[in-house]
Amino acid sequence: MSTIIAVKSNEVYEGFDVRSIRRCTPSVLGFRVCAELTANGDGSVTIRLTAETPFGNYSKSFKFNADVDFVFRPIPRVSIEVSIRDFRASGESISFSLSIKGCIKFPWPIGKRCVGRTFNIVLPVPGTEKESEQDLSSGDMALLLLAANEEGCQCD
């Protein structure tokens, strides 16, 4: 577990604790489900599920290291079904298929609405990430250049 740093004004902080990815379902009537996934050094994965609803956002973290199915019900009107399949851990990465399906119950006449999506996930195992800019792919470099260019945007 990483140490949380108390920030100070005008300081610059570099590096990162973990590398994670985030995947979300499409939105339906202001409701969507997001999963933030992080590989752990012990071969497991931490998944932080968030139900983004018109009533507020609700999150909870879970840990898994094999194929599994479960349901997360943060509040009575909302449920998230999760399915992990084809879980494989190798020396440098962890891969699996993630299916998430979120359902929300709206008042009549709208009723229950569900939205789902399946993602193929590949996560780097901590400690095996690229350590220098020379190791970044041209696609990674292009994203960095686009992000740097956004700072100079005088958009209205």
Q: What is the pTM of this model?
A: 0.72
| C-alpha distances out from residue 92 to 36, 41, 89, 124, Å | 19, 10, 8, 6
Q: What residue spans define the domains of the chain?
A: 20-151
87 Cβ neighbours under 8 A, 6+ residues apart: 64, 65, 66, 67, 94, 95, 96
User: What would the pLDDT profile of 18-69 be if each residue is shown by its tens digit?
Assistant: 678 999 999 988 899 999 999 988 889 999 999 998 889 999 999 999 999 9
Instruction: Check the CA dihedral 65-69-70-71 and report its sign.
Output: positive
CA distances from 116 to 19, 46, 88 (A): 24, 20, 23
pLDDT tens sequence across 92-142: 899 999 999 999 888 888 788 899 999 999 998 886 655 545 556 666 666
Please report, for the chain, how many H helices and E strands are present, in that order. Answer: 1, 8
User: Tokens in use for 40?
Assistant: 């752990």
